Each structure stands twice: as structure tokens, then as C-alpha cells.
Amino acid sequence: MSTTAEAVQQAQAESGRKVHLIIERQDRPDSEPYWEEFEVPYRPGMNVIACLMEIQRNPVNKKGEPVAPVTWEMNCLEEVCGACTMVINNKPRQACSALVDKLQQPIRIRPMRTFPVVRDLVVDRSRMFEALKRIKAWIPIDGTYDLGPGPRMSSEEQQIAYELSRCFTCGACVEACPNVNDKTSFIGPFAISQARLFNMHPTGKMNKEERLQALMGEGGIFECGNAQNCVEVCPKGIPLTTSIAVMNREVTYRAIGAWLRK
């Protein structure tokens, strides 16, 4: 059989194929969640976002009942912004890079429950951004005038900094961490790793003590239970547990130094 004929047969076989999705929905922040099933036409190479867009185009559940379209967030569709992070088949990940062909069906989708749910798959990730404020995740400069070339970093430091800088605040590590929940104030592994990143920077070191102090406070690094779930789900392969170990050592040295100076 020719390649063209095989392609036609495959297309005909796939024309009636459906993608089965089971989505946890929530109408309002204060309402109870519920599960709803959908079936959408299959297309080769489609991702979870494509499935959600199909539901939005034709909001009818598996029973054939018209329903409100499922709401979710997205932006870049290139696993860069983190807006479309949700729990897909029990794993926190980005819907844009979750390919249907690589997922077991029915595909179960729910919002990240570490964060307050706004509606359906939309969550409020403010907790993460507040944590970044606590550890001063920025490089402060005095004015906008030309300061000239800054201090040089070794190639080894540049490589480590590049790996840490790939964090895009998607929330996957926070969702997977058993120590982050509504009963704790733990800032999460991403914030600890970002503190390490900015403390490595020649200019960022000026605020190193403030970052270490923040990690020593309530919800800081000592609330990490070392479950190591974070490094397992990070989509960018950031060495989060290594960062936690490095910052734990620095915080301990600072605490011992402060005790000796008394």
C-alpha cells in the first residue's frame, strides 16, 4: 500500500476519534467543586489547550447538555509564562506542552489546589508573587543612569545562574510540595532558589543579608520537609533541592554567626 493511501486510511480512522476529558469545575471561589465530562474531536498533535478551546467553541458536555464554557488561563503557549499550569492526570504541568497522544485517557484535569480557585481552572497565584517580594527577588539600582560595566561572573557562576533563572513562576513545585498549604506560610522551593540566584549576582549580594533573614523567618527555609517533590515536577529541570541545600547552609552559618556575636 502506498504511503498516500496509508495516510488516507489513518485520517479516516482518526476522523471519528474522540478525546475524553474529565474536568473539575468550580463556578465561584466560594462554591463546591464538581466533575464534568467532555468529548472533543481528536486531531493529530493536539495539546490540552486545544481540547479546552474546542470545549469553549462548542460548550456541550458528554451527555449532550449545553454548559458554561470551561475557563482557564493561557498566554505564551510555549511553556514560558506559566499561566496555563494545571493538574493533568495527577501531575502539575503546563497545558500547552501536555500532548494528548502522550496522555492516558480519560484525561483528568483539575486546578492547582494549593492556590485559591477563582473559577474552574483559573487560580490566584498571588502567594507566589508575595513570596518573591519577601526575598527581594530583584537587583536594586540607584537611578537609571549608565553605571558602566558591572563586576564579572565566572563561567561556572553564569551557568548556575542561567539554570536558576529559567524559573517562570508556574506554580508546579508549590502544588507538588506537601509543606505548602492553607495551614502554613512556607514560601516554597521556587522562592528559596530565587534567593540563591540573586545572592549570587555581584550587585544582588548587597541585599544578601536581607534575603537570608527572610528565609530565617516564619514560613522560611526551616519549614521545608525535604520531600523533593518539587524537583520531580519542575518543567525546566531547575535544581531546586540543590538550591535548598545551599541556602540552608548559608542560613545556618548566618544563625551561628549571630549567636557567636552575642
Average pLDDT score over residue span 126-134 = 94
Cα distance between residue 21 and residue 104, in whole Å: 10
Which has the minimum average pLDDT: 137-151, 156-170, 179-193, 240-254?
137-151
pLDDT score for 4: 60
Average pLDDT score over residue span 170-185 = 92
> Residue type for 255, please?
A
**14-123 is classed CATH 3.40.50.2300:** no
Other Cβ atoms less than 10 A from the Cβ of 4: the count is 8
SS (H, E, C) 12-73: HHHHCCEEEEEEEECCCCCCCCEEEEEEEECCCCCEHHHHHHHHHHCCECCCCCECCCCCCC
Q: Residue 152: pLDDT above 90?
A: no
Higher pLDDT, 176 or 148: 176
pLDDT score for 2: 54
Q: Residue 136: pLDDT above 50?
A: yes
Cβ pair 85, 147 in contact under 8 A: no
Tens-place pLDDT, residues 60-91: 999 999 999 999 999 999 999 999 999 999 99
Across the beta sheet with 107-110, the strand order is 34-41, 18-25, 107-110, 85-88, 91-94
Which has the minimum average pLDDT: 74-78, 86-90, 145-149, 167-171?
145-149
Query: What fold, for 126-260?
Result: Fumarate Reductase Iron-sulfur Protein; Chain B, domain 2 (1.10.1060)
The domain locations on the chain are 14-123, 126-260
Q: Does 126-260 match 14-123 at the fold level?
A: no
pLDDT score for 260: 78
What's the whole-model pTM score? 0.87
- Residue 7 pLDDT level (bands cut at 50, 70, 90): low
- Residue 6 pLDDT level (bands cut at 50, 70, 90): low
Average pLDDT score over residue span 202-208 = 90
pLDDT score for 8: 42
Q: Could you tell me the three cell numbers for 250?
A: 548559608
Cα distance between residue 90 and residue 78, in whole Å: 21
Q: Residue 262: pLDDT above 90?
A: no
Q: Could you tell me the three cell numbers for 55?
A: 470545549
